[in-house]
């Protein structure tokens, strides 16, 4: 007997419904120049402006209360030049692996001559090997490392690692609250998930951590919302986190010094999306009395997304059964975010005049095109149904807002094509 399976058509990401591509004026001139160089060789890659990212950190810090701290989530962008510039402006880094923690420490030593700021380490599956490495970073190298614990077992492993390294690890308990009083594009609290300790189990985990040698319980980590563009609602969420942490600490005898509310500041990806009202966010927190603790923010996307662009060369333009396709060098092996998160990530078309005389040059004029990559899968799509005035083989597409979860979030091993290149520019230069 032969069983026949009917495949569901794959249509990631969401269609632009024939909305126009961006004008080239939306791409800074230094980025356009770097994009053309990358497209010429090796064909695709990322352009970053680390100075812009560092300026965004300083802008955020200006609107926050003096008792707030800004860490950078390294998972958003771990490029060494980016970390080096951010090390000059952040209060800390948030890492999710030993490699990220070491890269953060290297950036701090390069730019500050020593650790100087804290490295918070998160993640739902910390292994004994990871915790041992973190304890050694603290005990042998003097790194100011704090571990966000996600379970009672993880607490025991962290204790063993600290004792073996003859050090004391500051820790917080990451909490999965029973109710999250605000929505965002990604909600990681009040629902089943691997992140954190369920709220009703927090008292038992507090008791466990407090009884173990080598651990110093400093507070709670309540990263439950991500990608929120409603500034006032997010300010209310932050205040809720502070209140929850204070009341829980008082009930269970915790010397509360740290409340980590994660990142969660959203950025607009599409035309018409609401931008995060930074001034309004700061104003909503300005009159709050000093809570006597460090309030930690861990933004990643908000800091670096606008400071990055993905550029890729069009290798072919073709039509099939009523559809028009711009096939590009790269794709989700370089830039998976639009497909994985169903983001309508638009682009600008840079014209490239040079082209071999003996080759035909296919083009699409006044058409809606789907941008597909070089991988042998129908999921390799970066944008669908975007209206372009013109696109030709050899032209270059530039996707803004690609400075976070781009290179780091991709799948470069599939088919073994060359990885995306990375370069930096200063967009303030003429």
Dist CA 410 CA 333 (whole Å): 5
**Type and span of the H or E element at 387:** strand 381-392
- What pLDDT is recorded for position 190? 65
Dist CA 238 CA 233 (whole Å): 9
205 in the same domain as 347: no
For the chain, what percentages of helix, strand and coil (3-state, to nearest 5) are there? 35, 25, 40
Closest to 147 (Cα-Cα) out of 59, 215, 91, 52 = 215
| Residue 321: CATH number of its domain | 2.40.37.10
Q: Please confirm whether the linkage preceding 231 is cis (ω < 30° from 0).
A: no
Q: Is residue 139 a part of any domain in this protein?
A: yes
State which of 304, 324, 342 marks the end of a domain. Answer: 304
Q: Is residue 262 a part of any domain in this protein?
A: yes
Dist CA 152 CA 173 (whole Å): 9
Range of the domain at 318: 24-47+306-424
* CB neighbour list of residue 84: distance below 8 Å, 6 or more residues apart: 50, 107, 110, 111
312 in the same domain as 247: no
Q: Is residue 3 a part of any domain in this protein?
A: no
- What pLDDT is recorded for position 3? 47
Q: Is residue 196 a part of any domain in this protein?
A: yes
274 in the same domain as 195: yes
Token pair for residue 231? 């500034």
Instruction: Note down pLDDT in tens along the chain; length 430 residues.
Output: 454 445 555 567 889 899 999 999 999 999 999 999 999 999 999 999 999 999 999 999 999 999 999 999 999 999 999 999 999 999 999 999 999 999 999 998 888 765 567 899 999 999 999 999 999 999 888 889 999 999 999 999 999 999 999 999 999 999 998 887 765 555 666 677 888 899 999 999 999 999 999 999 999 998 777 788 889 889 989 999 999 999 999 999 999 999 999 988 989 887 778 889 999 999 999 989 999 999 999 999 999 999 999 999 999 999 999 999 999 999 999 999 888 888 888 999 999 999 999 999 999 999 999 999 999 998 999 999 999 999 999 999 999 999 999 999 998 888 889 999 999 999 987 7
328 in the same domain as 257: no
163 in the same domain as 184: yes
275 in the same domain as 373: no
356 in the same domain as 400: yes
Structure confidence by residue, pLDDT tens digits, 256-307: 999 999 988 989 887 778 889 999 999 999 989 999 999 999 999 999 999 9
| Residue 139: CATH number of its domain | 3.20.20.10
Q: How many domains does the chain have?
A: 2
State which of 277, 304, 331 marks the end of a domain. Answer: 304
Q: Is residue 430 a part of any domain in this protein?
A: no
Dist CA 33 CA 430 (whole Å): 11
State which of 285, 304, 323 marks the end of a domain. Answer: 304
Alpha helix ranges (H) inside 41-120: 50-63, 80-86, 98-112
The neighbouring-strand residues paired with 149 are 173
312 in the same domain as 238: no
Closest to 246 (Cα-Cα) out of 257, 231, 235 = 257
237 in the same domain as 167: yes
Q: Is residue 193 a part of any domain in this protein?
A: yes
Q: Is residue 11 a part of any domain in this protein?
A: no
Q: Is residue 6 a part of any domain in this protein?
A: no
112 in the same domain as 74: yes
Structure confidence by residue, pLDDT tens digits, 38-88: 999 999 999 999 999 999 999 999 999 999 999 999 999 999 999 999 999
396 in the same domain as 379: yes
99 in the same domain as 224: yes
Token pair for residue 64? 């926050």
């Amino acid at each position: 007997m032969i069983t026949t399976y009917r495949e569901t058509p794959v249509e990631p990401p969401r269609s632009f419904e024939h909305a126009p591509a961006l004008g080239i004026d939306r791409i800074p001139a230094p980025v356009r120049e770097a994009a053309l160089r990358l497209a010429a060789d090796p064909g695709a890659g990322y352009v970053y402006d680390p100075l812009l990212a560092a300026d965004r950190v300083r802008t955020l810090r200006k609107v926050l209360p003096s008792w707030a701290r800004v860490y950078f989530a390294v998972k958003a962008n771990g490029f060494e030049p980016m970390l080096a510039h951010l090390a000059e402006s952040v209060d800390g880094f948030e890492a999710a692996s030993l490699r990220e923690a070491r890269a953060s420490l290297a950036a701090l030593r390069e730019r500050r001559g020593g650790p100087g700021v804290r490295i918070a380490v998160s993640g739902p599956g910390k292994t004994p090997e990871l915790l041992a490495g973190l304890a050694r970073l603290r005990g042998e190298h003097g790194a100011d490392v704090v571990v966000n614990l996600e379970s009672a077992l993880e607490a025991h492993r962290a204790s063993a690692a600290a004792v073996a390294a003859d050090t004391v690890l500051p820790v917080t308990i990451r909490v999965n609250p029973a109710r999250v009083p605000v929505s965002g594009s990604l909600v990681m609290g009040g629902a089943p998930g691997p992140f954190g300790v369920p709220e009703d189990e927090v008292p038992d985990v507090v008791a466990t951590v407090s009884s173990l040698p080598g651990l110093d319980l400093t507070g709670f980590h309540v990263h439950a919302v991500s990608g929120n563009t409603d500034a006032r609602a997010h300010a209310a969420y932050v205040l809720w986190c502070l209140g929850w942490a204070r009341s829980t600490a008082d009930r269970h005898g915790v010397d509360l010094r740290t409340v980590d509310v994660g990142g969660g500041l959203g950025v607009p990806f599409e035309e018409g999306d609401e931008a995060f009202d930074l001034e309004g966010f700061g104003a909503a927190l300005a009159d709050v009395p000093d809570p006597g603790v460090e309030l930690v923010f861990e933004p990643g996307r908000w800091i670096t997304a606008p400071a990055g662009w993905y550029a890729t060369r069009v290798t072919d333009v073709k039509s099939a059964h009523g559809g028009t396709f711009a096939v590009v060098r790269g794709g989700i092996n370089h830039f998976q975010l639009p497909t994985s998160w169903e983001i309508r990530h638009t682009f600008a078309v840079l014209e490239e005049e040079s082209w071999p005389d003996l080759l035909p040059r296919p083009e699409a004029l006044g058409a809606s095109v789907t941008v597909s990559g070089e991988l042998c899968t129908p999921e390799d799509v970066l944008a669908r149904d975007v209206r372009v005035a013109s696109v030709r083989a050899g032209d270059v597409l530039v996707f803004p807002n690609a400075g976070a979860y781009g290179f780091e979030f991709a799948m470069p091993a599939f088919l073994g094509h060359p990885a995306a290149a990375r370069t930096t520019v200063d967009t303030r230069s003429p």
